[in-house]
Structure 1
Amino acid sequence: MLVVVKFVSDVDDEEWRTFFRAVTSISKESKVIIISRVESLTRYGTENPIHLSRLPDEEYGYLFKTLAFGSAQAKDHPKLTLLAGEFTKLLGGSFLEAYSITNLLRTHLNLQFWLGMLKKYKSVTKSNLSVFGEYPSQRFRRRCRVDFTNFLPSPADPLYLMPPRTEAEVSERKLPKLTIGDIIVNPSLRPKGDFDLVTWESRIAPYTEFCYHVSTCVEQHPKTTLRRKRDATICL
């Protein structure tokens, strides 16, 4: 038996031992793989941890174009191919952002739409650099809130994406849920109160969704021109 466990937070040692004993009691050849960003969970490993790093720029660019064009041929869209390169420079190697952006681009393979999306994302990048001193990809990676207001048609109410919600949290809270595509095409669909924003949904079973919580009660922070340290742990 092979069991793959993804942790979004630390876990009690005794609970882990109970689970691990149950798995290994089935067969001594059973294996458990832990996936997590929580470094302390390496204490459960019997092998040295493998730390995943970002893809080289060339490979990330290839992934982005594959996702963006889908079944279409990139060579048939030379101008869009050039714009794909501009997107990858802004995304900083983020898989989540690549999937989220290409989900929108793939449904509109025309120059005007792609130029509009690129302009919006550049504006989002500029806003986050001004307010937080970080690129959106850095904010996403550190699970900090990201200012996505400029991604919507102007004028728009502030749109701050809070750290990703687990499917259990989404199910429990039962807030209104929209996709990023819905709210861009028709901003009037935005609920009056808090809601969950789906930025990406897997196209294969079990069709996992990646949701952000959008709160109407977000404290405003003064702008800053100072870059925050990469190893900072306090998020605004």
Structure 2
Amino acid sequence: MAMFLSSILSEFTSRSISFLIDKCLTSISPPTVEETLSNLQRLLCRVHIIVDEADERHISNHAMMRQLSQLRKEMYRGYHTLDTFRCRGVHEEENRVSPSFTPSNFNPAKRIRFSSSDSSSSEQGHLLEVLGCLEAAIRDTSELVLFLSGYPRRCRQPYSMYLLLDKCMFGRQMEMEQILGFLLQEEAPIDGNLGVLPIVGRRRVGKSTLIEHACNNERVRTHFCRIMCFRRCGTKDERTVATLSDCDVIKHGSGAIGDERILVIIELVGDMDEDVWRKFYSDCKHHVAGGSKIIVASRSEKISRFGTTQPLELKLLTPEEHWYFFKVRTFGSTDLADHPKLASIAMDMARETNRDFFCASVVSALLKANFDAHFWSMALASVKKIKRINPLLYREEKGADFLQGFKPINVRIVNKTSVENLVILHDYETGFVRETAQNEGSQMTIRDLLFGSNNVRPRGRFEVVACRSHIPPNYSYMWECEVRRPQRMISRRKRTQQIQS
């Protein structure tokens, strides 16, 4: 009898425990948005530490470079998702607060709205997906973290990160390694042929900057005794880029041509005539030593036929990468919790720049100069207006218009009382600018152009400083502008003069 009661009590106890465990498991609710965002922020901090440590190391393993590239993409995606939810909370707080809003402990400056709608469920699913991908990426880098300590540290350059961001080298680590691998690879001479690497990409995508950074690499300067550059060459004139003696700029030189290896850089706008290329390539083979290399950069994919290796195509950054670049340029850090309102405006502004490096640099410099929400809202409205009156400004072209590049841009009315229009005719860059403080102060800036000034009343044609690099080589990017009267106003004045005469 005692054994029977003992077995009954044991069975009852085990079933009770199982029931309680099942009850507890079913009562646990899924994580809230705040909890998920908090976990996402914590994982991003861990990933950022790994990426920063990897950037300090000279990694030669291509598989590790690919894994780091994937880790960076997940980090950019995570920051983009985190900032998107933060900015959405700011937008919702500006609306009327209703009982359907719940205070968020993740950021007291905002409220996150909970809804049972399909869109909210989809966004919640996207957030969990990003979190899961980031967790998987961290797990996959466990071996990578161990191997990092075995690679030597790079030479410390205090301004290197600012230089990379300021010159649009952001997000080009894989492309940089591909160029360095091509330049430093020892090749057996085959019939005296020289290695040629074509680099293709749209305007302002960063081709020249990437090449400039590769030429400044210490290993490249040690490997080649001379670096010769041919910039913005014509495409049909046989007198252009015919021989090495037509070189525009010698970036680095420590020996006579023919004695040591040289690196030749050719920057084109479109295609190059076949006869011009054949003549130039023949001249190089007869006057340079074996192991010399040629890099040809252009917007046209046709130059790929000149290459002896696979062409390097530079594409626009993804929206997540572009947002990371834009916010670091604007705020100087990745944490935007102290500026929720400005972060919301900045995210809208980043979308308006259409992932364009140059536009992002110009706009971020404009915003960084004045941390005021009202000013940023005015700047956003101005950029939207420019895009509205210039619908082809960001249109992707693949024909002749694409190769021509810059088109005149109608910006705005000069002031409230004038009907004159302001037009940006074209842009250009000047290198190694050393201006005095007086000259810098007398030049019109992008802020004067967009918002006007009581002391600045432009007339006719004039120049505007669109963007200036404050780190050597101190490039200045200029716009040539013109104040134009509307065509109807000019015709009316002509008719009046004819009647009076």
Compute the TM-score of the two structures, normalised by the length of structure 1.
Answer: 0.71
Aligned with residue 7 of structure 1, among 268, 271, 274: 268
Counterparts in 2 of 1:66 and 1:166: CA distance versus 1, 3 Å: closer
Counterparts in 2 of 1:28 and 1:71: CA distance versus 1, 3 Å: same
Structure with larger RCO (C-alpha < 8 A, sep 6+): 1
Hey, what does 2:416 align to over in structure 1?
154
Counterparts in 2 of 1:153 and 1:27: CA distance versus 1, 3 Å: farther
> Following TM superposition, by how much is the alpha carbon of 1:201 offset from its aligned partner in structure 2, in angstroms?
2.0
Aligned with residue 28 of structure 1, among 272, 290, 303: 290
Checking the alignment, whether the CA contact within 8 Å between 1:61 and 1:85 is kept in structure 2 is yes
Q: For 1:213 and 1:61, locate their aligned partners in 2 and report how far apart those are by CA, in whole Å.
A: 29
Hey, what does 1:92 align to over in structure 2?
354
Hey, what does 2:323 align to over in structure 1?
61
User: Secondary structure of 1:6's partner?
Assistant: strand
1:113-152 alignment, distance < 5 Å: 113-129=375-391, 134=392, 136-138=393-395, 142-149=405-412
User: Secondary structure of 1:84's partner?
Assistant: helix
Hey, what does 1:233 align to over in structure 2?
none
Counterparts in 2 of 1:212 and 1:17: CA distance versus 1, 3 Å: farther
Q: For 1:218 and 1:167, locate their aligned partners in 2 and report how far apart those are by CA, in whole Å.
A: 29
Q: For 1:62 and 1:153, locate their aligned partners in 2 and report how far apart those are by CA, in whole Å.
A: 35
Q: For 2:265 and 2:289, locate their aligned partners in 1 and report how far apart those are by CA, in whole Å.
A: 16
User: Secondary structure of 2:315's partner?
Assistant: coil
Give RMSD over aligned pairs. 3.4
Hey, what does 2:474 align to over in structure 1?
207
Deviations 1:48-88 (A, max 9, x none): 32222211111111111011113695332111111111012
Counterparts in 2 of 1:29 and 1:92: CA distance versus 1, 3 Å: same
Matched, 1:111 2:377: no
Checking the alignment, whether the CA contact within 8 Å between 1:97 and 1:137 is kept in structure 2 is no
Counterparts in 2 of 1:34 and 1:57: CA distance versus 1, 3 Å: same
Aligned length: 208
What code does the residue aligned with 2:362 have?
S
Aligned with residue 196 of structure 1, among 460, 463, 472: 463
Compute the TM-score of the two structures, normalised by the length of structure 2.
Answer: 0.36
Q: For 1:137 and 1:70, locate their aligned partners in 2 and report how far apart those are by CA, in whole Å.
A: 27
Q: For 1:26 and 1:14, locate their aligned partners in 2 and report how far apart those are by CA, in whole Å.
A: 20
Identity of aligned residues (%): 27
Counterparts in 2 of 1:15 and 1:93: CA distance versus 1, 3 Å: same
User: Secondary structure of 2:317's partner?
Assistant: coil
Hey, what does 2:342 align to over in structure 1?
80
> Following TM superposition, by how much is the alpha carbon of 1:105 offset from its aligned partner in structure 2, in angstroms?
0.5
User: Secondary structure of 1:214's partner?
Assistant: strand
Q: Which moved more, 1:92-101 or 1:20-29?
A: 20-29
1:156-235 alignment, distance < 5 Å: 157-165=420-428, 167=430, 178-183=444-449, 184=451, 186=453, 188-216=455-483
Checking the alignment, whether the CA contact within 8 Å between 1:128 and 1:146 is kept in structure 2 is yes
> Following TM superposition, by how much is the alpha carbon of 1:22 offset from its aligned partner in structure 2, in angstroms?
6.7
Hey, what does 1:227 align to over in structure 2?
none
Q: For 1:178 and 1:43, locate their aligned partners in 2 and report how far apart those are by CA, in whole Å.
A: 44
Checking the alignment, whether the CA contact within 8 Å between 2:463 and 2:479 is kept in structure 1 is yes
Q: For 1:202 and 1:6, locate their aligned partners in 2 and report how far apart those are by CA, in whole Å.
A: 21
Counterparts in 2 of 1:78 and 1:196: CA distance versus 1, 3 Å: same
Gaps of 5+ in 1: 169-175, 222-236
User: Secondary structure of 1:206's partner?
Assistant: coil
Counterparts in 2 of 1:65 and 1:159: CA distance versus 1, 3 Å: same
User: Secondary structure of 2:296's partner?
Assistant: strand
Counterparts in 2 of 1:22 and 1:53: CA distance versus 1, 3 Å: same
Counterparts in 2 of 1:216 and 1:122: CA distance versus 1, 3 Å: closer
User: Secondary structure of 1:147's partner?
Assistant: strand
Q: For 1:8 and 1:167, locate their aligned partners in 2 and report how far apart those are by CA, in whole Å.
A: 18
1:39-50 alignment, distance < 5 Å: 39-50=301-312
Q: For 1:177 and 1:16, locate their aligned partners in 2 and report how far apart those are by CA, in whole Å.
A: 41
Gaps of 5+ in 2: 1-223, 225-262, 432-441, 489-501
Q: For 2:487 and 2:302, locate their aligned partners in 1 and report how far apart those are by CA, in whole Å.
A: 33
